[in-house]
Amino acid sequence: MQYRPVLDTNVLVAGLRSHRGASHRLLRLIEAGTARPVLSVPLVFEYEAILRREASVLRLTDDDINAILDDLCMLGERHLIHFLWRPTLRDPGDELVLEVAVAAQCPCIVTHNVRDFGGAERFGVALFTPRDWLRMRGEER
């Protein structure tokens, strides 16, 4: 079965920073085709901006970042945003995540900052940390 999470940028960064944690395991499930991230063009641009800002910490080259984004776009499910829900959350970057989840009727957002998404539940979107998402899906090792 394939699952459709919307990934907050912090999950992507954490998964690239460490090969041991739940965020990395989630990225591996995406790579294997077990999970298919739900994306929008603005969200991918947000991913790109953060990855480029954190490139030296993550030890990524421009080519690495391009390859990661290309893979996410190839493996992901893209959705258009027809209308905006803003402002709903405090952080504009988080708004991008919520907007695509609502537009795609996606059941969940995976984030390390669940508290930052207070109010998402009124749109029918559940919030999970990467570890809780893996546990719920029976993918935790």
Assess whether pLDDT exceeds 90 at residue 18.
yes
Task: Kindly state the tokens that stand for 36.
Answer: 């298919």
Q: What's the pLDDT at 30?
A: 95
Write out the residue range of the structural domain in which residue 84 sits: 5-136
Residue 77 sits in a domain whose CATH number is 3.40.50.1010
Domain count, the chain: 1
Average pLDDT rounded to a whole number, residues 22-26: 96
Question: Distance between CA atoms of 95 and 101, rounded to whole angstroms?
Answer: 10
Residue 127 lies in a domain: yes
Residue 141 lies in a domain: no
CB atoms closer than 10 angstroms to residue 71: 13
Task: Kindly state the tokens that stand for 83.
Answer: 């209308």
Question: Distance between CA atoms of 119 and 89, rounded to whole angstroms?
Answer: 7
